[in-house]
Structure 1
Protein backbone atom coordinates (compact mmCIF):
# COMPACT_ATOMS: atom_id res chain seq x y z
CA UNK A 1 0.00 0.00 0.00
CA UNK A 2 1.31 3.42 -0.88
CA UNK A 3 2.15 5.93 1.79
CA UNK A 4 -0.07 8.63 0.27
CA UNK A 5 -3.17 7.16 -1.30
CA UNK A 6 -5.47 9.25 -3.43
CA UNK A 7 -9.08 9.18 -2.17
CA UNK A 8 -11.89 8.69 -4.62
CA UNK A 9 -14.82 11.07 -4.56
CA UNK A 10 -18.47 10.20 -4.16
CA UNK A 11 -20.57 8.54 -1.50
CA UNK A 12 -19.06 6.09 0.91
CA UNK A 13 -20.96 3.94 3.36
CA UNK A 14 -20.86 5.26 6.92
CA UNK A 15 -19.57 8.70 5.98
CA UNK A 16 -21.15 11.96 7.08
CA UNK A 17 -23.22 12.93 10.08
CA UNK A 18 -25.45 10.26 11.57
CA UNK A 19 -29.21 10.58 11.18
CA UNK A 20 -31.14 12.64 13.73
CA UNK A 21 -27.99 14.22 15.19
CA UNK A 22 -28.29 18.00 15.35
CA UNK A 23 -25.53 20.19 13.99
CA UNK A 24 -23.62 22.45 16.38
CA UNK A 25 -25.60 25.59 15.54
CA UNK A 26 -28.98 23.91 16.10
CA UNK A 27 -27.86 22.31 19.35
CA UNK A 28 -26.52 25.65 20.63
CA UNK A 29 -29.73 27.46 19.65
CA UNK A 30 -31.86 24.87 21.46
CA UNK A 31 -29.70 25.07 24.62
CA UNK A 32 -29.93 28.88 24.65
CA UNK A 33 -33.71 28.81 24.18
CA UNK A 34 -34.13 26.32 27.01
CA UNK A 35 -31.85 28.34 29.31
CA UNK A 36 -33.67 31.62 28.62
CA UNK A 37 -36.92 30.34 30.07
CA UNK A 38 -39.98 29.67 27.99
CA UNK A 39 -39.56 27.88 24.70
CA UNK A 40 -42.09 28.16 21.84
CA UNK A 41 -43.38 24.76 22.88
CA UNK A 42 -44.01 26.00 26.43
CA UNK A 43 -45.76 29.15 25.19
CA UNK A 44 -48.06 27.17 22.88
CA UNK A 45 -48.90 24.72 25.65
CA UNK A 46 -49.67 27.52 28.15
CA UNK A 47 -51.80 29.46 25.68
CA UNK A 48 -53.72 26.33 24.68
CA UNK A 49 -54.46 25.49 28.32
CA UNK A 50 -55.49 29.05 29.18
CA UNK A 51 -57.83 29.25 26.17
CA UNK A 52 -59.34 25.90 27.09
CA UNK A 53 -59.86 27.02 30.71
CA UNK A 54 -61.40 30.30 29.52
CA UNK A 55 -63.81 28.38 27.30
CA UNK A 56 -64.76 26.08 30.21
CA UNK A 57 -65.46 29.09 32.44
CA UNK A 58 -67.75 30.67 29.86
CA UNK A 59 -69.66 27.62 28.67
CA UNK A 60 -72.96 29.48 28.54
CA UNK A 61 -71.45 32.46 26.75
CA UNK A 62 -71.27 32.70 22.95
CA UNK A 63 -67.53 33.33 23.19
CA UNK A 64 -66.88 29.81 24.52
CA UNK A 65 -67.03 28.29 21.05
CA UNK A 66 -64.53 30.84 19.77
CA UNK A 67 -62.16 30.03 22.65
CA UNK A 68 -62.44 26.30 21.91
CA UNK A 69 -61.61 26.93 18.26
CA UNK A 70 -58.56 29.00 19.17
CA UNK A 71 -57.40 26.34 21.67
CA UNK A 72 -57.74 23.69 18.95
CA UNK A 73 -55.69 25.78 16.52
CA UNK A 74 -52.90 26.19 19.07
CA UNK A 75 -53.06 22.47 19.89
CA UNK A 76 -52.65 21.69 16.19
CA UNK A 77 -49.49 23.83 16.08
CA UNK A 78 -48.13 22.28 19.29
CA UNK A 79 -48.84 18.65 18.33
CA UNK A 80 -45.56 18.02 16.41
CA UNK A 81 -43.61 18.89 19.56
CA UNK A 82 -45.32 16.12 21.52
CA UNK A 83 -46.55 13.48 19.08
CA UNK A 84 -44.41 12.18 16.17
CA UNK A 85 -46.03 11.41 12.85
CA UNK A 86 -46.80 7.75 12.33
CA UNK A 87 -44.80 7.68 9.11
CA UNK A 88 -41.59 8.52 11.04
CA UNK A 89 -42.13 5.93 13.78
CA UNK A 90 -40.93 2.39 13.14
CA UNK A 91 -44.01 0.25 13.25
CA UNK A 92 -43.51 -3.32 14.44
CA UNK A 93 -44.00 -5.87 11.72
CA UNK A 94 -44.87 -9.52 12.23
CA UNK A 95 -42.11 -12.06 12.76
CA UNK A 96 -42.69 -13.52 9.33
CA UNK A 97 -45.16 -14.09 6.57
CA UNK A 98 -48.39 -15.83 7.45
CA UNK A 99 -49.58 -18.69 5.31
CA UNK A 100 -53.32 -19.33 5.21
CA UNK A 101 -54.52 -22.69 4.03
CA UNK A 102 -58.13 -23.47 3.26
CA UNK A 103 -59.37 -27.06 3.19
CA UNK A 104 -62.53 -27.40 1.09
CA UNK A 105 -64.83 -30.35 1.71
CA UNK A 106 -67.12 -31.18 -1.17
CA UNK A 107 -66.81 -29.20 -4.31
CA UNK A 108 -68.20 -29.06 -7.84
CA UNK A 109 -70.40 -31.76 -9.36
CA UNK A 110 -68.75 -34.64 -11.17
CA UNK A 111 -67.83 -33.69 -14.73
CA UNK A 112 -67.92 -29.92 -14.18
CA UNK A 113 -65.12 -27.41 -14.34
CA UNK A 114 -64.77 -23.97 -12.76
CA UNK A 115 -65.53 -22.41 -16.15
CA UNK A 116 -68.65 -24.63 -16.64
CA UNK A 117 -69.99 -25.43 -13.15
CA UNK A 118 -73.21 -27.09 -14.32
CA UNK A 119 -73.69 -30.75 -13.51
CA UNK A 120 -76.14 -32.96 -11.65
CA UNK A 121 -74.09 -35.72 -10.06
CA UNK A 122 -72.75 -34.97 -6.62
CA UNK A 123 -70.67 -37.58 -4.87
CA UNK A 124 -71.71 -38.32 -1.29
CA UNK A 125 -68.19 -38.31 0.10
CA UNK A 126 -65.40 -36.46 -1.67
CA UNK A 127 -62.28 -38.46 -2.44
CA UNK A 128 -59.66 -38.28 0.27
CA UNK A 129 -56.74 -36.00 -0.63
CA UNK A 130 -53.52 -35.80 1.31
CA UNK A 131 -53.25 -32.70 3.51
CA UNK A 132 -50.29 -30.58 2.52
Structure 2
Protein backbone atom coordinates (compact mmCIF):
# COMPACT_ATOMS: atom_id res chain seq x y z
CA UNK A 1 0.00 0.00 0.00
CA UNK A 2 1.42 3.39 -0.89
CA UNK A 3 1.69 6.30 1.53
CA UNK A 4 -1.03 8.12 -0.42
CA UNK A 5 -3.52 5.30 0.09
CA UNK A 6 -2.63 4.88 3.77
CA UNK A 7 -3.49 8.48 4.63
CA UNK A 8 -6.99 8.18 3.14
CA UNK A 9 -7.81 4.74 4.54
CA UNK A 10 -10.49 4.24 7.19
CA UNK A 11 -8.09 2.61 9.62
CA UNK A 12 -6.96 5.89 11.15
CA UNK A 13 -3.69 7.68 11.07
CA UNK A 14 -2.89 11.26 10.14
CA UNK A 15 -5.28 13.05 7.85
CA UNK A 16 -4.46 16.48 6.47
CA UNK A 17 -6.71 19.19 7.91
CA UNK A 18 -8.14 16.92 10.63
CA UNK A 19 -8.49 17.95 14.26
CA UNK A 20 -8.79 21.25 16.04
CA UNK A 21 -6.84 24.09 14.46
CA UNK A 22 -3.86 25.46 16.37
CA UNK A 23 -4.81 28.23 18.80
CA UNK A 24 -8.51 27.36 18.96
CA UNK A 25 -9.52 26.69 22.60
CA UNK A 26 -11.54 23.61 23.50
CA UNK A 27 -15.18 24.00 24.63
CA UNK A 28 -14.40 24.02 28.36
CA UNK A 29 -11.69 26.67 28.04
CA UNK A 30 -13.91 28.83 25.81
CA UNK A 31 -16.81 28.54 28.30
CA UNK A 32 -14.54 29.42 31.23
CA UNK A 33 -13.17 32.45 29.37
CA UNK A 34 -16.72 33.61 28.66
CA UNK A 35 -17.64 33.31 32.36
CA UNK A 36 -14.51 35.23 33.36
CA UNK A 37 -15.40 37.98 30.87
CA UNK A 38 -18.84 38.31 32.51
CA UNK A 39 -17.30 39.11 35.91
CA UNK A 40 -15.76 42.32 34.59
CA UNK A 41 -12.38 41.72 36.28
CA UNK A 42 -9.61 39.65 34.79
CA UNK A 43 -7.48 37.37 36.99
CA UNK A 44 -4.50 39.65 36.42
CA UNK A 45 -6.52 42.66 37.58
CA UNK A 46 -7.56 40.76 40.73
CA UNK A 47 -3.95 39.80 41.50
CA UNK A 48 -2.83 43.37 40.80
CA UNK A 49 -5.49 44.79 43.14
CA UNK A 50 -4.54 42.38 45.94
CA UNK A 51 -0.87 43.22 45.51
CA UNK A 52 -1.53 46.97 45.60
CA UNK A 53 -3.74 46.73 48.71
CA UNK A 54 -1.20 44.62 50.59
CA UNK A 55 1.69 46.89 49.58
CA UNK A 56 -0.27 49.97 50.68
CA UNK A 57 -0.98 48.39 54.08
CA UNK A 58 2.69 47.49 54.49
CA UNK A 59 3.79 51.00 53.47
CA UNK A 60 1.48 52.63 56.01
CA UNK A 61 2.80 50.36 58.75
CA UNK A 62 6.42 50.97 57.74
CA UNK A 63 6.03 54.75 57.66
CA UNK A 64 4.87 54.82 61.26
CA UNK A 65 1.24 55.48 60.42
CA UNK A 66 0.24 52.61 62.61
CA UNK A 67 -2.67 50.68 61.21
CA UNK A 68 -4.73 48.95 63.84
CA UNK A 69 -4.81 45.30 62.90
CA UNK A 70 -8.19 44.21 64.13
CA UNK A 71 -10.35 41.27 63.08
CA UNK A 72 -12.01 43.28 60.31
CA UNK A 73 -8.66 44.20 58.70
CA UNK A 74 -7.42 40.62 59.00
CA UNK A 75 -10.61 39.30 57.39
CA UNK A 76 -10.19 41.81 54.57
CA UNK A 77 -6.56 40.80 53.99
CA UNK A 78 -7.47 37.11 54.11
CA UNK A 79 -10.16 37.65 51.48
CA UNK A 80 -7.72 39.52 49.25
CA UNK A 81 -5.15 36.75 49.63
CA UNK A 82 -7.74 34.10 48.74
CA UNK A 83 -8.88 36.15 45.75
CA UNK A 84 -5.27 36.43 44.54
CA UNK A 85 -4.76 32.65 44.91
CA UNK A 86 -7.90 31.93 42.90
CA UNK A 87 -6.93 34.52 40.30
CA UNK A 88 -3.48 32.94 39.89
CA UNK A 89 -5.15 29.59 39.20
CA UNK A 90 -7.56 31.14 36.69
CA UNK A 91 -4.95 33.29 34.91
CA UNK A 92 -3.72 30.57 32.49
CA UNK A 93 -7.26 30.18 31.17
CA UNK A 94 -7.56 33.88 30.37
CA UNK A 95 -4.03 35.14 29.67
CA UNK A 96 -1.39 33.39 27.55
CA UNK A 97 1.87 32.46 29.20
CA UNK A 98 4.77 34.56 27.99
CA UNK A 99 7.75 32.63 26.73
CA UNK A 100 11.31 33.72 27.13
CA UNK A 101 13.26 34.37 23.96
CA UNK A 102 16.85 33.25 23.70
CA UNK A 103 18.82 35.38 21.29
CA UNK A 104 21.40 33.47 19.29
CA UNK A 105 23.94 34.37 16.70
CA UNK A 106 24.55 32.77 13.35
CA UNK A 107 24.43 28.97 13.52
CA UNK A 108 23.20 29.05 17.13
CA UNK A 109 26.44 30.50 18.47
CA UNK A 110 27.03 33.72 20.37
CA UNK A 111 25.92 37.00 18.87
CA UNK A 112 28.75 38.67 16.98
CA UNK A 113 28.89 42.45 16.94
CA UNK A 114 30.76 44.47 14.39
CA UNK A 115 31.12 48.25 14.39
CA UNK A 116 32.10 49.94 11.15
CA UNK A 117 33.24 53.56 11.33
CA UNK A 118 33.55 55.52 8.11
CA UNK A 119 35.14 58.93 7.89
CA UNK A 120 33.80 61.02 5.05
TM bucket (normalised to shorter chain) is 0.3 to 0.5
More helix by share: 2
* RCO comparison, higher one (Cα < 8 Å, 6+): 2
TM-score where L is the length of structure 2: 0.45
